[in-house]
Structure 1
């Protein structure tokens, strides 16, 4: 019953959902950098699973927590948000969402996880550090466990100013760009000598372009956080979604898109590994459709039925179509499976009577 412990609101889709997730894990081992973010599957169906996120291009729909390869956008794993669960750890939704997506037994250890400020917390990063996962992401300064440092960034700091503080394995970094950027990381040191170009306003009101230092966590975050966004772009480029009033069909179409895009990325990786030219996604989908049609055309032919003539003498004889063959039907066309239509007083085992 809905609302009871153990009730699965996705029971209609659970077999397919589990099968797709297993396939995502079984046929591809991701690169070291992974990103976790939300994905919205557009829907306005009247169901409790529907969510609203004003910061997303798709504001209404089903929310998925997605683990994607930052290198190519491959969807490694995903969970559908079902609201408040009875199995929550008590450490918050963001903590549970990340931990549920990281299968240590399958992935192994040594991966670098990039998340945004919805997920980043001291408790999560310490937990991932114990599992031998590195983590990096933007962080909200009102998060529980965020240090209250004395060397905080002044309000009118120069562009490129850096402040940092280390708390065990956690490195907190503040960097002044257009606005203050706050990061937490267990992977990086503060500064690696990198810089970026920015337009800076001079005291006399003029603007000049100059290079300013950038912290290592910020540079890595800008490079690797877009794995889920890249996956979303590939999914939306070509998709099989259709208008429907059934909410579970929306998710079904999305599962098919995930399977197709992941297959395309696997094909691309294999082509590059062999030194060949990979197919575009459109070419890959066309080839896939042709292969599926070819498989349908190779359906097993029906077994040939031997036709043995039988004299019609019993009016209670029943045809293959479960219709009694009476005397008045003797003058009508009778079609045997192995002969053309003709008028006859005989029948066979594959008898079909036509008016």
Structure 2
């Protein structure tokens, strides 16, 4: 039986095309807001928080703007006011109905920020209504609890946001994203072999750095929520500062990298170190060099580093779905989770 998660993974190329078609014409609106601000504050939880990590790196590396991740409890629990003059607050919520995120965006506006919402919940979603500008993604209804197409369309919206903020990237590269995702769905690499390798272990470390860090965090989250695996998402810089001690024959590492960029050599060196310690190293992306240094490999997209996260997560989604089924878990409805999570 085909799961909803697997069907929704397959819907991503169309969802990305529709989202980019809807949002690229709004670049001038984004620029107008961006011109009134100096730095960014991303407001999110869960999968959306992982997307925000991509937005942070994109803003700082390519748009030259300081960006940070919000702590919503400052607004919702401590109820403290902060001077946010000159800040562009960007709130991400797939449903647009998570009360904590809506409240925090409203708080940011009250503190002087200009505000953007990124949501798949439609123009009428409370988050969209609370924002100065709503970037509504076009993923369509998502039935499986683990987010797939709503996540990648969030990344697409953040890429458009980056363009509006003056990122020093080639806008034309975005046109290739849906086709690259389609190729990855058709030929993701060693999914079955890696699923077999992960099916008998208690935990896994998932690591990437820079633009790929968001993918490492998101893949770790997917493995936790859909496969009940103790998956730890880390920057490889943090991994080398101590947690690498947990990597052994019972705890493999999944290493994520774009096919180009300054973090690729370090990821290859880490794969060699992991294997040297007697552990399995599974690659996601990183081209032929990372694949050669690893035990098995998932394919990566033929995209520049700034867009690679939109493709890198896709083989990881397929791995998660395949591993869940191998373990006898329904990936559409993991225990203890709902599609919309409310926090205080």
TM-score, normalising length: structure 2: 0.25
Counting strand residues as a fraction of each chain, which structure ranks higher? 1
TM-score, normalising length: structure 1: 0.24
The structure with the larger Rg is: 1
Higher relative contact order (CA 8 A, sep 6+): 2
